[in-house]
Amino acid sequence: MAIKQQPKPPRSRVIGNILLLVSGLFLLVNLFLPGLFGSRPPQVPYSLFIHQVQEGEVSRVYVAQDQIRYQLKPQAEQPEQVLSTTPIFDLELPKLLESQGVEFAAAPPPRNSWFTSLLGWVIPPLIFVGVWQFFLNRGSGGGQGVLSIGKSKAKVYVEGESEKVTFADVAGVDEAKTELVEIVDFLKNPKRFTQIGARIPRGVLLVGPPGTGKTLLAKAVAGEAGVPFFSISGSEFVELFVGVGSSRVRDLFEQAKKQAPCIVFIDELDAIGKSRASNGFYGGNDEREQTLNQLLTEMDGFGGGDQTVIVLAATNRPETLDPALLRPGRFDRQVLVDRPDLSGRTEILDIHAKGVKLGPDVDLKAIATRTPGFAGADLANLVNEAALLAARNGREQVAQEDFAEAIERIVAGLEKKSRVLNEKEKKIVAYHEVGHALVGALMPGSNRVEKISIIPRGMAALGYTLQLPTEDRFLLSETELRGQIATMLGGRSAEEIIFNSITTGASNDLQRATDLAERMVTTYGMSKVLGPLAYQQSQQPMFLGNEAPNPRRLVSPQTAEAIDQEVKGIVEQAHQQALDILNHNRELLETIASKLLETEVIEGETLHTLLKQVQPAGEQLASV
């Protein structure tokens, strides 16, 4: 797909600019050089004028406020001459003129030359016409002038083989592609559907987390169908002035009708499509509401005949959209574009790795296994980050270790080797991270511990324990969730056992553990006291990997207290479980921590061999 070239400026715009330039030039000349086009008498000093009056050489004087013009008596050798001088405050001048018999009077108003008169009548209209033509053509020519404020800002893409996007460029969303193939078939051969009375959906809403490829899918539909593609963001409709957004909606659909069949893609639809009930009132003059009303009207009216215009829209917050947008006849169909599974991630990596020189040791499937929850944009960033690391290290090909380091940079952040810890802090961090690893190694359904490091990363992490899944998981049991909480508290528990004190290093672990325990009680119904009830109003779409906590619903004080007690009980039980495991394996804890202090990083088979020595404690024997 290639961006459509803007047309050349119209001839009328060039003429308008020339008129504006010429009229401005003549105006400046008339203001600053008024004598250029008209005759003015020679200027003489005032003292010479008085001397000529006293000598009887002056016959007639015309006195004005800023000039005195006088006429000399004709002489034999020269004709009558008119001169001028600048007056000064002189009360004796009338008496002098009268005593010399000089005829004097007030000066008549100056008469402009014919050219000056022409400038006065012609130039102002030319200036007005030139300025008007200039702004008019800026608005119609796609500029950002005053008159273009109501014009659509959509980018128009037309078919270009060099940059054409097709379904072959999209991977990991096979179900979504299957749904959109029907749209392509309709755009290519609409009679196949209309001859039997079928009607294609006017609007298709692509729903999914950020970075999953919603925009890329829309471009692929246009590329497969070979039709024009109008792309615009929802925020580009909304302006300060009420009515501008609705004007841009009208202009967008007018352009689309002229190039039908075509596709109109509106990204971030929730910017203009939020529920009108969220404003607290109906029927106001809010700019966003007026824009939404116009969009609803256009989607009702553009169908029919040969004007085949299909609207694709994308959002990651479908729950906030106005119900009028989602009713049949507008956005009839919702297509989920979720994060890819293992096979999808492998396909995406294969697409992005085509332009990268890969080493013989690179295993894309292994990389896909280590990146659950990564969206298409995350995987593209991963490939690019690995290529940058390889180039930085002076290699000609990207190796598997570059991908491993890139995953850590994305998940945990950049290494902060400049952040030097003292020996005491370094020892605390070492035992903290080993505590996470030992507890995580015994928990059922836990991810595999791949690396322990005490090299600071990111904004605040002084060390980290890297756990990577061995398979995609979509359901977790209560036992596995409790095991995750125990793993989060393993670091704090190790500090308590070894140092008999606690530090601030476990603050993030405590926050995550508390949030997970609260979801177990209020969302998942995993409390015997409160029963299978939901105490949260889940207004966010439950995409894969979306674990953002929701605000607790209004409950009675007794229920809120019961929730707090249940959450506390779950966390304390997991804390005790972690303490039991670490006390039972204290010798192994100190061995691994000492080795970590020496090497700073333990990973691979060395780490796996050490963790295989972890023994369950007490009650864990029956469950492991």
The catalytic residue positions are 433
Buried b (16+ CB within 10 A) or exposed e, 530-548: beeeebbeeeebebbeeee
Cis peptide before 10 (omega within 30 of 0): no
Q: Is residue 382 helix, strand or coil?
A: helix
CA distances from 597 to 425, 426, 437, 455 (A): 11, 8, 15, 10
- Provide the H-helix boundaries in 458-556: 478-488, 490-499, 507-522
Indicate the residue type of 426.
K
**Which residue bears the tokens 């997991």?**
574
Q: Which residue do the tokens 């051969």 mark? A: 189
Facing residues of 205 across strands?
Answer: 313, 334
In angstroms, rounded to a whole number, what is the distance separating the alpha carbons of residues 68 and 87? 6
CA 223 – CA 161 distance, rounded (Å) = 9
Query: How many CA atoms within 13 Å lie on the side-chain side of 361?
Result: 8
Distance CA 21, CA 592 (A): 82
Cβ within 8 Å of residue 37, ≥6 positions away = 30, 113, 115, 116, 119
Alpha-carbon gap, residue 271 to 265, rounded angstroms: 14
Sign of CA dihedral 335, 340, 344, 348: positive
From the list 495, 452, 464, 457, the residue with the least C-alpha distance to 599 is 452
Q: List the structure tokens of 381.
A: 């960033």
What is the chain's percent helix, strand, coil content, to nearest 5?
50, 10, 35
How far apart, in Å, are the Cα atoms of 221 and each of 38, 169, 270, 330? 71, 11, 22, 19
Q: Which long-range contacts (CB under 8 A, 24 or more apart) does 595-601 make?
A: 596/430, 596/433, 596/434, 596/452, 596/454, 597/426, 597/427, 597/430, 597/454, 600/453, 600/454, 600/455, 601/451, 601/452, 601/453, 601/454, 601/455
**CA of residue 420 relative to chain centroid, distance:** 37
CA distance 536 to 229: 41
b/e per residue 152-185 (b: at least 16 CB within 10 A): bebebbbeeeeebbebeebbbbeebbebbeebbe
Among 375, 262, 238, 236, CA closest to 316: 375
**Cα-only R_g, the chain:** 41
What is the full DSSP assignment across 141-191?
Answer: TT--SGGGTTS---EEEE--GGG---GGG--S-HHHHHHHHHHHHHHH-TH
